[in-house]
Amino acid sequence: MKLTTKSRYGVRAMFDIAYNAGGLPAQIKDISDRQRISPRYLEQIFQKLKKVGILGSKRGPRGGYYLKKPPEQISLYQIITATEGPIELVFCVGQDEDGASCASACEMKGECVASVLWKDIGDQIAEIFKKNTIKTLCDRAEELGIERKLDARFMYFI
């Protein structure tokens, strides 16, 4: 299983907001610069994260994007499934848009000895993503000594 840039960038951007914005809305330009992600691509990812209710936005000169929940309540699973869809190693263990099992479309239905294994592995991967939160990443960044880079609008010179 490979995660696409949507989920990887989504995790990085949500971490950036939590770590660098000081609880205030972060502007997309600043997130883009710090994480080296195209602002247009970030906008697309942020629309998906807003749709699931973990990211909010505020318009205006003091606007930007903000976390709608505390970092310890936003799991990597929420970000990944918002950007990628369900975590499934193979199609036959998943469900279609109507909630029906995709196993019915499999030519080996009822005979595949590996399908249970694929589902179990996918579930274990999902559990790891559920256990780890944006707060986990922020704590790891502090342990590594990563400097917080506050938005330019917070810098005051006398």
120, pLDDT greater than 60:
yes
pLDDT class of 118 with cuts at 50, 70, 90: confident
Q: What is the pLDDT of residues 4-32, one digit of tens each?
A: 999 999 999 999 999 998 888 999 999 99
Model pLDDT, residue 22: 81
Question: What's the whole-model pTM score?
Answer: 0.82
90, pLDDT greater than 60:
yes
158, pLDDT greater than 80:
no
Q: State the chain's mean pLDDT as an integer.
A: 87
58, pLDDT greater than 90:
yes
59 φ, ψ to 5°?
A: -85, 165
Domains of the chain (ranges, CATH numbers): 5-151 (1.10.10.10)
Model pLDDT, residue 98: 54
* Residue 70 near residue 76, CB atoms below 8 Å: no
What's the average model confidence in pLDDT over 78-93? 86
Q: DSSP string spanning the chain?
A: ----HHHHHHHHHHHHHHHHSTTS-B-HHHHHHHHT--HHHHHHHHHHHHHTTSEEEE-STT-EEEESS-GGG-BHHHHHHHHH-S--SSGGGSB-TTS-BGGGG-TTTTT-SSHHHHHHHHHHHHHHHHH-BHHHHHHHHHHHTPPP---GGG----
| Selection from 151, 144, 143 nearest residue 17 by Cα | 151
Model pLDDT, residue 80: 97
101, pLDDT greater than 60:
no
